[in-house]
Amino acid sequence: MTKVALRGLAGRKLRAVLTGIAIVLGVAMISGTYILTDTVQRAFNNLLVDSYAGTDAVVTGKGLDISIDGEKPPPPPVDASLLEVVRGVDGVALATGSVLDERNTKILTPEGESVNSEGWPTLAFGIDTDPALTQFNPLNLFEGRWPASDDEVVVDVGTADKQDYAVGDTVEISTLQPKRPFEIVGVAKYGEVDSLGGISFAVFTIPAAQALLGREGQYDAISVAAGEGVSEDELVAAIAPALPGDAEVVSATAEAQEQADEVSEFTSIFRYFLLAFGAIALFVGAFVIFNTFSITVAQRTREFATLRTIGASRRQVLGSVILESLVIGLLASLVGLGLGVVLAEGIEALFGSLGVDLPSAERVFKTRTVVVALAVGVGITLLAGLFPAIRATRVPPISAVREGATLPHGRFHRYTPWVAGLVVVGSLLLLARAMFTDELGTGDRLLSIAGGVLLLFLGVAMLSSKLVRPIAAVVGTPARRAGGVAGTLASGNSVRNPSRTAATAAALMIGIALVAFIATLTNGMKASNREAIEEQVIADYVVTSLDGYTPFVAAAGEELAASPVPDVVTSVRSEAGQANGDTAEIGGIEPDTIADAYVFDWQDGDDSVLATLGKTNAVVSSNWAEDRAIGVGDKVTIRSTADKTAEVTVVGTFRPPPFYPLLESVNVSTELFDSLYDRPRNRWTWANVADGSTDQTRAQMEKAISGFPDTQLETREEWIQREDSDFNEFISFLYVMLTLAVFVSVFGMINTLVLSVYERTREIGMLRAIGMTRRQVRRMVRQESIITALIGAAIGLPLGIFLAALVNRALSEYDVRFAIPWLQLGVLTIVAIVIGVLAAIMPARRAARLNPLEAIAYE
């Protein structure tokens, strides 16, 4: 039976290849994701290894141990005099201070634009290049020398290559001060890392870095090497008593591990995000495989019956079909594993096209990647082929002598609709649990959503065979009326076997449902985003960072305010901190001018309370206040990341739009804010002009902030439109990722049509013999494919809208609008028709090429 199975598989090469493509693509996505994220992880780990290779302990300022949106603020600097104190501790062999800034530095291109414009940092280093302290330097000089004066700089290899900078060239760099020219005296690499992705760096002398980055008389860190025979723990224990209360010391291992954990958290989120699309492709592929094996088992009824007649047991027949599944799954998984290397490059290029260049090192191909990819690919193939294999064992031997024999239904066939109904109910309960249970953690919530959506698709797919006839009666009308005899036959063929048509359409249904879900949900989000901005901002102009969301140097807003052109300029600061012990974003606003640009929806108070802020009062958002039972007159203790505190009294509460609040939860005056934070940054700067917007006024305002290349000036409407375009870019990215699932469904349709042509060879031969032309045969197959695709669209579109409505309901606290994108859904329907046409090309040509006489004699 093993030989029979393998020979049969070898005789159906095209069917096996088309079946395996579904697994190839899904496994490629999974293996490519692991390869890419493992490579990024290695690149970051290499950075950390290089950073602490010659270090045993690190002294930094003592700041808040908080994290907002996965980002931990850097610790505050320490006084430079502390370096000599550390050097005097017993057990210390070497120590040096360094400056590191990752927020406020931008290298400019030769055209005067920022090298990094998508949120990636430019690391600014101030490093002691004394040869005796080389072990603390994580950078390797690639060309030239280290800077020796305040007007010299070393840049990274990536920036030098991309911008054609060479040693001796002049480059402009902005910091906390406006841009100024520096001479490039060297080019360096960070350790042995191949590429830092979108990250760049600039190396200054320590005095220059301190002056440029607001660290006069300060270091961001002091790196320490232990003497011979002194362990890291012993070194930390010796240094700690010598430090003042605003400084702390940790071992280099602990510091590296903490940073590694942060990187691992980032790569894990990134990995699960990409794996979700691979799982979708494999889920769709499972329908394709199930359908393929179901059709081939039905076509081989007489073959299995003959085997039973000559003595094969049901177990042997079952084993032969499972063996075919195993071989297809294994071979497809191996191909997908290899294709994953190429796909990893493709995903990296896709992110690069969106401005997200990922750090890279030598490609990582872990054993885990091989095991998971093979296990998932083979497992899904076996699972999808199991039920058709069981059906094969039910073939009675008498079928061998009966032409046109069909497989009998199982004992539980009549209960399928009830089981499907229970699956749908279970899916809705899981979705309701995820969306309406506040106590769930993020992991449990995501698992419930994933399980609910999976079961919903499965239940709908099981019920879809009951929907094929009524849907086909509608979507098949154009074919019957305008397609002539071919169209009538195509419409009839689509309902001849509703289960097969439903299984074929189900693969496409999932892809279309997900696209419709994303289109509907994000369309509502875009509308909510625009409405929230329009409700809050009345300014004529908006200054933001180039990526639109990263805070920028506060001096840029001050330069604009100093310009004589704008009538009013007001800035909004933003930094992480604590309020009454809870992590919070702290905002700094200008009391005299904020109301000219921002509309407060006051719950308690009015614009007059802004004048009372000073250094002792604050206004807070109503939702933040209500969650903590805080009202007007209550005290709030604010603590900054620099470990500075202030107690303020709440003098007003306002209701920001929940979807996109532009002010923070706790807002104080910029006077108080700047006393809490050493290097404040603006989230927004808004400006009004007295005589309206003109090209001349805009040019003058742009000139005022030209020294800070990480900023951009836009009108209010331009800002809103860019926010819309950012949404569109993200949506396009999701569509690209879902294309893999759509490809799988297209191959599934091709596979089904090819198998259908095989199955109907004699029928097609008869049609050709009685006068049907080749063109009519092609049209029949093509229209049958289009009808199947439209059935998938007819089920998928409402399902996607339904899922979007559920999620929209779960996001009701954020005031997300529910807006159905009719135009996009119409385009999606056209895409389904195009998919049907493309999927029919090869099967239609094969059907048209059949020789009538040979087809009639085909067995």
Which residue did the predictor score with more confidence, 42 or 59?
A: 59
Percentage above 70 pLDDT, the chain: 90
Within 10 A of 368 (CB to CB), how many other CB atoms are there? 10
Find the mean pLDDT for residues 541-559.
Answer: 89
Instruction: State pLDDT tens for residues 84-110.
Output: 999 999 999 999 999 998 888 889 989
pLDDT at 745: 76
Q: Where are the alpha helices (DSSP H) in 464-483?
A: 468-475, 477-482
Return the pLDDT at 394.
67
The pLDDT tens digits for 183-222 are: 999 999 887 666 677 788 999 999 999 999 999 999 999 9
Model's pTM, two decimal places? 0.78
Specify the pLDDT at position 199.
Answer: 82
Which position has the higher pLDDT, 697 or 635? 635
Q: Which residue has the higher pLDDT, 653 or 345?
A: 653
Strand partners, 620: 653, 666
Query: Closest Cα to residue 681, out of 541, 590, 587, 618?
Result: 587
Give the C-alpha separation, 519 to 502, whole Å. 24
The Cα angle at residue 747 between residues 741 and 748, in degrees rounded to 5? 85
Confidence of residue 300 (pLDDT cuts 50, 70, 90): low
178-182, 337-341, 751-755, 855-859, range with the lowest pLDDT: 855-859
DSSP string, 665-720: SEEEEHHHHHHH-SS-EEEEEEEE-TT---HHHHHHHHHHTTT-TTEEEEEHHHHH
Distance CA 23, CA 334 (A): 10
**Could you report the per-residue pLDDT of 220-278, keeping only the tens digit for each?**
999 999 988 899 999 999 999 999 988 999 998 888 887 777 777 778 877 888 888 78
pLDDT of 692 > 80? The answer is no
Which amino acid is residue 733, in one-letter code?
F
- Cα separations (Å) of 522 from 404, 497, 727, 752, 828? 51, 37, 8, 34, 15
Using alpha carbons only, what angle is made at residue 199 by residues 193 and 204, rounded to the nearest 5 degrees?
Answer: 90
- d(Cα 551, Cα 677) in Å, to the nearest integer? 14
- φ/ψ of 632, rounded to 5, equals -60, 135
Least confident of 283-292, 433-442, 500-509, 750-759: 433-442
